[in-house]
Amino acid sequence: MTSTRKRKKPEDSVLGIHKRDGLWQDGLARVMGPELLDRWGIAEDAEPGRVREIVLLRLHRVLERFADPLMPEIVWTAYNLGTASRDEESGVVRRLEKMVDEGRVGRGVRTCTRRFNGDFLPAVVKSLGTAQSPITDEDLVRASRWLAGNIRPGAEESADGLSAAIRGLRSPMTPVLKMFLDGPVHGPVDGAGVPLAAKLGAGGEWFCVFTGERLLAAYRESTGAVWDRTGRWTGRDVVRTAAGRIFPTGVLVNPSPARGSGVDATLPLPPDEIARLAREH
């Protein structure tokens, strides 16, 4: 007799990973289901530890697309990674409440819940519709180390030093600005080969640049942005170009692909800051 049991779609199954005690829940592979396991390259008979490793890596790759410095704390708390007790079956709501009560993010529960449910989870679901990047043995070793120590992927694991510094900032600071000015950035270009200006509604015109080609590619993949060409410059070159435009132009470093996060989720250098940098550097 043919089974009539309906198989859950990967897009639905992925929404169960953060529930109960998150990555540590028993039967994680069963929660995910065969289609999601296959989509993420996990064998149905894989050991529980291997399942967790690959799930962690897939989630981490989506999280890397967000420049919002609050997202790692919110996301890994929701998935119960790096929490005080990984065996505490408090549920995702209680974990987020505890995070807020301890003052780890400086935001309310409602805001944190909205960023997780409204920004991160949709990004995970959307990623399922794209080609999944390969996972290497080195990746698995790193994930195993994170899980063994119940620790989160650290800022030192990010693509470059400037990206790591930006993730820890609430406002621009001199050392980070120096890193930006001296280091390479990547972004879309117009027909003249200069950075492409984006109009952000009432926010005016901005150059959007990325501190690594991988970050640019991830943004492009997540948003579906169609750029015929991309270029590479120093941050100082970008500042001078922005300062020389007729229209006041700011620079967004590592803009977030999450809908609604915009300027608040990146390192914004508004036109007045660009003018100052151009004068002084």
What is the DSSP-derived secondary structure letter of residue 102? T
Q: What is the pLDDT of residues 218-253, one digit of tens each?
A: 888 777 788 888 999 999 999 999 999 988 899 988
Q: Which domains does the chain have, with CATH numbers?
A: 10-153 (no CATH), 161-280 (3.40.1350.90)
Q: Mean per-residue pLDDT for 81-108?
A: 79
pLDDT of residue 171 exceeding 50: no
pLDDT of residue 1 exceeding 90: no
**Confidence at residue 21, expressed as pLDDT on a 0 to 100 scale:** 84
**Confidence at residue 173, expressed as pLDDT on a 0 to 100 scale:** 52
**Confidence at residue 85, expressed as pLDDT on a 0 to 100 scale:** 56
Contacts of 141 (CB under 8 A, 6+ apart): none
**Confidence at residue 189, expressed as pLDDT on a 0 to 100 scale:** 92
User: Of 9-13, 42-46, 61-65, 156-160, which gets the smallest average pLDDT?
Assistant: 156-160
Q: Mean per-residue pLDDT for 3-9?
A: 61
**Confidence at residue 13, expressed as pLDDT on a 0 to 100 scale:** 92
Q: What is the pLDDT of residues 108-134, one digit of tens each?
A: 999 999 999 999 999 999 999 998 989
List the alpha helices (DSSP H) in the chain.
Answer: 10-13, 28-39, 48-63, 71-78, 91-101, 109-114, 121-127, 137-148, 161-167, 174-182, 213-223, 235-243, 271-280
Spatial separation of the C-alpha atoms in residues 147 and 172, rounded to whole Å = 33
User: Of 10-14, 164-168, 178-182, 203-207, which gets the smallest average pLDDT?
Assistant: 164-168
Is the pLDDT higher at 40 or at 256? 40
CB 33 within 8 A of CB 10: yes
**Confidence at residue 216, expressed as pLDDT on a 0 to 100 scale:** 85
Q: Mean per-residue pLDDT for 242-269?
A: 74
